[in-house]
Amino acid sequence: RTSKHPDTLVVATTYDAKTLDPYMTNDVASSNAMRQIYETLVAIDAEGNVVPSLAEKIDRVDGKTYRFTLKKGVTFHNGETLTADDALYSLKRAYERGASVRHILGVIDPAGFKKIDDLTFEVKTKEAMSSFLAALTHFGGGVILNQKAVEAAGDDYGFKPVGTGPYKLASWKKGDRMELERFEAYHGTKPEFPKMVLRVIPEASNRTIELESGDVDISFEVSSLDVSRVKANKNLELLTLVDTATTYMGFNCSKAPYDNEKLRQALTLAINIPGSVKAVFRGNAFPAYGPIAPNVKYSNNDLQPSKTDIKKAKKLLAEAGYPNGLTTTLWTNSKKVRVDMATIIQAQLKKIGVTVKIQVLEWGAYLQGLKDNKHELFIVGWTCQTPDPDMAVFPTFHSSQIGGNNFAAFGDAEVDALLDKARITPDGAERKALYFDIQDKLREKAPWVFLANKKIAYGMQNYLEGFTPSPYGFHALYEVKMKK
Partner 1 sequence: MQTKKNSLWGQVFGRLKKNRMAMMGLFILFALLLTALFANVIAPFPFDEQDLFATLEGPSSAHWFGTDEFGRDIFSRIIYGSRISLQVGFVAVGFSVMAGGFIGAVAGYYGGRTDNILMRLMDILLSIPQLLLAISVAASLGPGLLNLMLAVGIAAIPQYARLVRASVLSIRDQEFVEAAVSVGSSDLRIICRHILPNCMAPIIVQATLGVAFAILIAAGLSFIGLGLEPPTPEWGAMLSGGREFIRDYPYMTVFPGLAIMITILGLNFLGDGLRDALDPKLKN
Partner 2 sequence: MLGYILRRCAMLIPVILGVVFIVFVMMYVTPGDPARMVLGEQAPQEDVDNLRAEMGLDDPFLFQFGRYVYKAVVHGDIGRSYITKRPVWDELMTAFPITLKLSALAMGIALLVGIPCGIVTAVKQYSIFDNIVTLFALIGISMPVFWLGLLLILLFTVKLAWLPPSGFDSLAAMIMPAVTLGLQSVAIITRMTRSSMLEVVRQDYIRTARSKGQKESVVIRKHALPNALVPVVTIAGIQFGILLGGAVLTEIIFSIPGLGRLMVSSIEMRDYPMVQGGVLFIALAFCLVNLGVDLLYAWLDPRIKSQYT
Considering CB distances under 5 to 8 angstroms, the limit depending on partner class, which of partner 1, partner 2, none binds residue 344? partner 1
Choose the one of partner 1, partner 2, none that binds residue 200, judging by a C-beta under 5 to 8 angstroms depending on kind.
partner 2
Residue with Cβ nearer partner 2 (191 or 250): 250
E-strand stretches of 140-228? 167-173, 177-182, 195-200, 218-219
What minimum distance in Å lies between the beta carbon of 360 and partner 1? 6
**Which residues contact partner 1 (rule: CB under 8 A)?**
204-205, 223, 225-226, 229, 275, 278-279, 334, 336, 339-340, 342-344, 346-347, 357-362, 364-366
User: Interface residues with partner 2 (CB under 8 A)?
Assistant: 16, 18-19, 21, 24-27, 99-100, 102-103, 106, 155-156, 158-159, 173-176, 199-203, 205-206, 209-210, 212-213, 215, 362-365, 367-369, 371-372, 383, 385, 395, 401, 403-405
Write down the least CB distance from residue 348 to partner 2, Å.
27
Name which of 171 and 327 has its Cβ closer to partner 2: 171
Based on the number of CB atoms within 10 Å of its own CB, is 384 exposed (0-12), middle (13-18) or buried (19 or more)? buried
Provide the minimum distance between the beta carbon of 16 and partner 2 in the complex, in angstroms, as a whole number.
8
CB atoms within 10 A of CB 151: 11
Q: Which does 215 bind (CB under 5 to 8 A by kind): partner 1, partner 2, none?
A: partner 2
* Beta strand pairing call for 218-219 and 8-13: parallel
Alpha helices in 11-66 (DSSP H): 28-37
- CB neighbours of residue 347 within 10 Å: 12
Q: Which does 126 bind (CB under 5 to 8 A by kind): partner 1, partner 2, none?
A: none
CA 257 from chain centre, in angstroms, equals 31
210 versus 237: smaller Cβ distance to partner 2: 210
Whether 107 and 129 have beta carbons less than 8 Å apart is answered as yes
Three-state secondary structure along 312-353?
A: HHHHHHHHCCCCCCCEEEEEEECCHHHHHHHHHHHHHHHCCC
Work out the widest C-alpha separation in the chain, in whole angstroms.
72
Q: What gap in Å lies between CA 76 and CA 324, rounded to an integer?
A: 67
Give the shortest CB-24-to-partner 2 separation in angstroms. Answer: 6
Contacts of range 159-162, beta carbons closer than 8 Å, 24 or more positions apart: 159/19, 159/20, 161/20, 161/21, 161/34, 161/37, 161/38, 161/77, 162/76, 162/77, 162/78, 162/80
**Identity of the residue, 393 or 456, whose beta carbon is nearer to partner 1 in the bound complex:** 456
| Least spacing, CB of residue 404 vs partner 2, in Å | 5
Query: What is the smallest separation between the CB atom of 100 and partner 1, expressed in angstroms?
Result: 23
**Which of 260, 405, 265, 287 lies closest to 344 in space, CA to CA?**
287
CB burial class (10 A; 0-12, 13-18, 19+) of residue 239?
Answer: middle
At closest approach, how far in Å is the CB of 225 from partner 1? 6
Burial (CB count within 10 angstroms: exposed 0-12, middle 13-18, buried 19+), residue 457: buried
**CA dihedral sign of residues 363, 367, 372, 377:** positive
In the complex, minimum distance from the CB of residue 236 to partner 2, in angstroms, rounded to a whole number: 14
Query: 223 is in the binding site of which of partner 1, partner 2, none (Cβ under 5 to 8 A by kind)?
Result: partner 1
Q: How far, in Å, CA of 188 to CA of 436, rounded? A: 39
- Return the one option of partner 2, partner 1, none that residue 158 interacts with (CB less than 5 to 8 A, by type): partner 2
- DSSP-derived secondary structure letter, 371: H
Among partner 1, partner 2, none, what binds residue 343 when CB lies within 5 to 8 Å by partner kind?
A: partner 1
What CA–CA distance (Å, rounded) separates 40 from 235? 35
Amino acid found at 386 = T
Q: Which is nearer to partner 2, 212 or 420 (CB)?
A: 212
Smaller CB distance to partner 2: residue 80 or 215?
A: 215
The CB-of-440 to partner 2 minimum distance in angstroms stands at 25
Q: Which listed option, partner 2, partner 1, none, makes contact with residue 199 (CB within 5 to 8 Å by class)?
A: partner 2
Minimum Å gap between C-beta 329 and partner 2 is 16
Close Cβ partners of 24 (under 8 Å, ≥ 6 residues apart): 18, 98, 100, 158
**Residue (262 or 278) nearer to partner 1, CB:** 278
Q: Which does 385 bind (CB under 5 to 8 A by kind): partner 2, partner 1, none?
A: partner 2
Q: Which is nearer to partner 2, 323 or 403 (CB)?
A: 403
- When the beta carbons of 15 and 436 are compared against partner 1, the nearer one is 15
Q: Which is nearer to partner 1, 116 or 365 (CB)?
A: 365
Which one, 181 or 212, has the nearer CB to partner 2? Answer: 212
Quote the least distance from Cβ 217 to partner 2, whole Å.
Answer: 15
